């Protein structure tokens, strides 16, 4: 078994070999720029890890990992456009560095390339994996639409929010591990169990992301702190805070003359008053426990289960 860091290095080397050197460079250079600015490479690493857990071959799994990474970055490029985000991981977003049309088109071609690379999979497993991949891609788009809808919706429930992040974030993590397991020697049942493990992990991961957006260090998180607050995003934290019907929070959300820093500090003060961070942390831990509870049902050695247990700790209890 490779370590997580070894899998990261293997994948990054493979990613570099697949850089876009074709014309027109005005289409492909932005993708090279965006792909090289880093990130956790979480989804491809999880795919490769799952393949190895079930005795699969890394070389066979690498194209699927690259396809997943291309798809994920396509969603990030378009998310940045929709959110009008100035930076991503501390670097200019594509629409800021180049222009809006380039960001849209470069994202589009990255999606098509993702499907093209998927064609490198073993023919015996292609149809099953293609079905999972396409279902997941649709669900990610559905999750993004729910996220957009929540901006105009006055009241959003906790359940609605959890379903949104399940679709927008969690299912891609889960599908990555399911696909990796299938590229190994996992049975369909084992692949579904690893999906459930990663699905709950993904929800916990996103809740932690929401917490870090408010309380994380910008130099570690790699994006503007308080961005969700500035945009009035209905994260789990904001949804819980709104339940208190506090006029100060309503004022901070609707008053357009308030400076961003003042708005962030004001909202965080209200969060502190109502113990919102503590609430979100408990919700996060609920999904962590759900994730861990699946592991005993998967036919893996104790040492391999320990890898998955430590992965939960690494991904969720983090400050970046």
How confident is the model over 271-301, as pLDDT tens digits?
Answer: 999 999 999 999 999 999 999 999 989 989 9
Residue 219 pLDDT > 60:
no
**Average pLDDT value for residue range 238-260:** 95
Q: Are 187 and 54 in contact (CB under 8 A)?
A: no
The phi and psi torsions of 87 (rounded to 5 degrees) equal -135, 155
CATH homologous superfamily for 4-316?
Farnesyl Diphosphate Synthase (1.10.600.10)
- Identify the band that residue 231 occupies on the pLDDT scale cut at 50, 70 and 90: confident
Break the chain into its structural domains and give their ranges.
Answer: 4-316
Q: CA angle, corner 142, sides to 42 and 280, nearest 5?
A: 60
Q: CA angle, corner 176, sides to 89 and 112, nearest 5?
A: 75
* Residue among 76, 4, 83, 80 nearest 38 (CA): 76
Strand partners, 20: none
Whole-angstrom Cα distance, residue 45 to residue 63? 12
Whole-angstrom Cα distance, residue 314 to residue 308? 10
- pTM value > 0.75: yes
pLDDT at 40 (0 to 100): 87
Residue 90 in tokens? 């501390």
Whole-angstrom Cα distance, residue 94 to residue 308? 35
pLDDT at 252 (0 to 100): 96
* Residue among 190, 203, 213 nearest 319 (CA): 213
Burial pattern 109-120, b for ≥16 Cβ within 10 A else e, equals bbbebbeebbee
Q: Are 79 and 89 in contact (CB under 8 A)?
A: no
Strand partners, 92: 87
Instruction: Using a pLDDT cut of 70, give the percent of the chain over it.
Output: 97
Residue 168 pLDDT > 90:
yes
């Amino acid at each position: 078994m490779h370590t997580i860091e070894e899998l990261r290095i293997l994948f990054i080397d493979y990613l570099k070999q697949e850089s876009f050197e074709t014309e027109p460079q005005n289409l492909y250079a932005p993708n090279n720029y965006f792909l090289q600015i880093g990130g956790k490479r979480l989804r491809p690493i999880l795919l490769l890890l799952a393949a190895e857990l079930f005795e699969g071959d890394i070389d066979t799994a690498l194209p699927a990992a690259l396809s997943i990474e291309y798809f994920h970055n396509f969603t990030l490029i378009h998310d940045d456009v929709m959110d009008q985000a100035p930076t991503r991981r501390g670097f200019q977003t594509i629409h800021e560095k180049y222009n809006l049309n380039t960001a849209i088109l470069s994202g589009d071609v990255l999606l098509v390339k993702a499907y093209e690379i998927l064609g490198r999979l073993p023919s015996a497993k292609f149809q099953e994996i293609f079905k999972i991949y396409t279902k997941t891609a649709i669900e990610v788009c559905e999750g993004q639409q729910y996220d957009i809808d929540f901006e105009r919706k006055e009241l959003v429930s906790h359940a609605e929010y959890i379903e949104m992040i399940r679709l927008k974030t969690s299912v891609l993590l889960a599908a990555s591990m399911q696909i990796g397991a299938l590229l190994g020697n996992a049975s369909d049942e084992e692949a579904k169990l690893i999906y459930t493990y990663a699905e709950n992990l993904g929800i916990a991961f996103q809740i932690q992301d929401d917490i870090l957006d408010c309380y994380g260090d910008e130099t570690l998180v790699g994006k503007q702190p308080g961005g969700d607050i500035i945009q009035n995003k209905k994260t789990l934290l904001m949804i819980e805070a709104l339940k208190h019907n506090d006029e100060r929070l309503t004022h901070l959300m609707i008053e357009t003359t308030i400076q961003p820093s003042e708005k962030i500090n004001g909202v965080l003060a209200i969060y502190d008053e109502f113990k919102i961070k503590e609430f979100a942390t408990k919700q996060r831990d609920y999904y962590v426990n759900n994730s861990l509870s699946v592991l005993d049902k998967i036919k893996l050695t104790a040492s391999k289960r320990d890898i998955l247990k430590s992965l939960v700790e690494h991904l969720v209890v983090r400050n970046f």
